[in-house]
A and B are shown apart, each in its own frame.
Chain A
């Protein structure tokens, strides 16, 4: 066969060649970015000098001089702005974790509720989702804080549960466990219980693969996890006591206090995020082909077994990515705390600290870096889970 001579490309102008053009565009983009950056930085340095703004991160070690309503670690006014940062970060994480736990529980229940055969449950779930999803989260936070919590009774008339939990307009008071030295044994028992559960699960899975027999792994694990520490707790002579909150004068003393700001924020975040999680759960379950359920029915499986063994494992693959995105949104939305003064990162660091030292650039960049890091960690987790949940094809 005769070898074809490569046809000569028609001559095009240098700048019309797609490859050259790509290079030109990119160089232009780089030059543009370079000039914008130069312009911005140059102006910034001039402005900083003119206005006499301090720069650098020295302020992190200087004294903050203001109190914080609630802190997970010991903090007082003489501590540094660096410590304020840590306190704020921990409070952000605290409210996020509480919010994520409750949003997941509510979202799961409502999402399954929307698909319930019970007419009332399905409609109520729908009303819940449509109501709370269409109201701005900031409005909800302000509403719970300024209207509902403010309408609660004063400490003297607090609502009490079993005389140990008190609820009033200053917050929620719950008993605080005081741990004694012997409590280490209980913690060790708990860790051993976790190890036992891991081995049990492995054994049960192996047995299931070999003989097909079911083992009630979940309930037995739960039993072990609860009973082992409790047993050791009593055997070692109850090495912990509860400190109850008591009404002294005008307010409660002792116990753990959940301040109203935390309650309002956690409540609003869970209620709002749960609507999105519910929708994700519903979409995930609906994405499982009907034939799967019908086939399982035809095999005579019970409804709850079908849900557990056929529907959920397939639905989770669809559910998990959007749900994790919602967790991320919840963490970011916790920054709205600044509207009601819950002392998290944005409120005390980008708010109070910034007002005191005036170093906006450093402080806002640090705050952004925190959220970016959290986002990256969460999305790495998502990719890991996604990879694990993928259908394993040969």
Chain B
């Protein structure tokens, strides 16, 4: 039998905790790492202080244009043109209408969460677009506002929402078509999806703005905005179709077989069993696709619609306010960034909630 000698317990190693050790491990673990750390700090040093100076400390926040003395950002331009950035040329006395639409939208979101009843939910989903349209465009006693008056963030949000809502059912149909075992339906779906995904959005917008009117009888007059919306919806539908297809492919065959053995029809199988699961899986990617669409709405400025980005150029052509592009672009950048970043964080949160991987 072996004899064991008892060893004295060693003291806990020094410096495995605390800020110094953290820095040793995370900033200066090797020569390369140290050099990288120094470079990183240098980069921050040359970018952050001038940026802060420009944006905050040297910036002009109030007063009139003549009072600008500092060389920082002149935010008074944004304040001056704020309404134009948000509403475009929408009549000022009617601003309450889009605002009310936004309020109703917010209210509906709460109601939607609160009432777990299909009928109420369907009512909410179908009535919202109608109410919004009447409020923004007019009708039923409300003064009519031409679409060429719509602009700014209002237009951006309208184009994005219509694109999202209208493309969704079309996209699902094409996704089902692509998975179908009817050869002709499948071919049509594949051709549509691949064609749309293979060309830039801007050529589709050109097509809908230049060629589309040629396809219809002369008396059918298409609004410029409507044409852009058609282009964007066709585009988005193809992307949604691919996202939903990804979800459909993830559904185990057993689910279809179970539905078949219950003698459910195709639409019952899809609507009650397959699609709810497939859509749930695809939520993160659908949100991702919405973010892309939201960013892509900027392209409508190329066919002459005045979304928030176009407002920068437009507000700038005011002879009173020449040379304020930088502030304009920075302002628009911040708006897009905040909206897109929050959406992508939301997508990440949803993805994590549905994640069943054991990491």
Contacts and interface: CB of A to CB of B under 8 A. Distances in A.
Q: Quick one: which of A26, A50, A134, A354 has the most chain B CB within 10 A?
A: A134
Contact of A138 (B26, B207, B215, B309): B309
Interface stretch (A199-207, A239-247, A333-341): A333-341
B296 interface: yes
Chain B contact residues: over half helix, strand or loop, or mixed? helix
Interface stretch (B58-66, B112-120, B192-200): B192-200
Contacts of A375: 197-199
A119 B26 contact: yes
B328 to A, nearest CB: 10
Interface stretch (B37-45, B75-83, B101-109): B37-45
Given A29-B184, A135-B333, A147-B326, A124 B43 contact: yes
B210 A360 contact: yes
B299 A364 contact: no
A367 B211 CA distance: 13
B82 to A, nearest CB: 18
Chain A contact residues: over half helix, strand or loop, or mixed? helix
Contacts of B26: 117-119
A368 interface: yes
B200 A120 contact: no
B200 A371 contact: yes
Contact of A335 (B183, B203, B218, B312): B203
B210 A44 contact: no
B329 A139 contact: yes
Interface string A170-212: 0000000000000000000000000000000000000000000
Given A134-B344, A139-B332, A48 B200 contact: no
Given A48-B214, A136-B309, A120 B36 contact: yes
A357 to B, nearest CB: 13
A143 B331 CA distance: 12
B299 A120 contact: no
Interface stretch (B10-18, B130-138, B164-172, B335-343): B335-343
Contacts of B333: 135, 139, 143
A346 B215 contact: no
B203 A40 contact: no
Contacts of B255: none
A29 B185 contact: yes
Contacts of A361: 211, 214
Contacts of B44: 124
A367 B36 contact: no
B198 A25 contact: no
Given A371-B200, A372-B195, A30 B36 contact: no
A269 to B, nearest CB: 12
Interface in B281-316: 291, 295-296, 298-299, 301-302, 309, 312
Contact of B29 (A33, A117, A147, A346): A117
A346 B203 contact: yes
A346 B27 CA distance: 48
Given A30-B184, A332-B200, A335-B202, A118 B302 contact: no
A43 B214 contact: yes
B218 A368 contact: no
B202 A120 contact: no
A350 interface: yes
Given A136-B296, A146-B329, A372-B195, A47 B206 contact: no
A230 interface: no
Q: How large is the interface on A (under 10, 10 to 19, 20 to 34, 35 or more residues)?
A: 35 or more
Contacts of B264: none
A130 interface: yes
Interface residues of B, number: 54
Contacts of A147: 325-326, 329
B216 interface: yes
Nearest to A346: B202
A376 B202 CA distance: 19
A350 B198 CA distance: 17
A137 interface: yes
A371 B37 CA distance: 43
Contact of A364 (B37, B207, B218, B298): B207
A350 B200 CA distance: 13
Interface string A137-181: 111001100110000000000000000000000000000000000
Interface string B325-359: 11001001100110011001000000000000000
A376 B198 contact: yes
A43 B333 CA distance: 43
Given A134-B336, A136-B295, A372 B214 contact: no
A26 B183 CA distance: 8
Contacts of A136: 295-296, 298, 309, 336
A348 to B, nearest CB: 14
B317 interface: no
A139 B182 contact: no
A315 B226 CA distance: 45
* Nearest 9 Cβ contacts at the A-B interface: A375-B198, A134-B340, A120-B40, A119-B26, A136-B295, A332-B200, A26-B184, A335-B200, A360-B210
Given A117-B25, A335-B200, 19 more contacts: A25-B182, A26-B183, A26-B184, A29-B185, A117-B26, A120-B36, A121-B37, A131-B337, A135-B295, A135-B340, A139-B336, A147-B326, A336-B302, A346-B202, A350-B206, A368-B199, A368-B203, A375-B197, A375-B199
Interface of B: 25-27, 29, 33, 36-37, 40-41, 43-44, 181-185, 188, 195, 197-203, 206-207, 210-211, 213-218, 291, 295-296, 298-299, 301-302, 309, 312, 325-326, 329, 332-333, 336-337, 340-341, 344
20 contacts: A26-B184, A43-B217, A47-B218, A116-B36, A118-B36, A119-B27, A120-B37, A134-B295, A135-B337, A136-B296, A142-B312, A146-B325, A147-B326, A332-B199, A336-B200, A346-B200, A361-B211, A364-B206, A372-B199, A375-B198
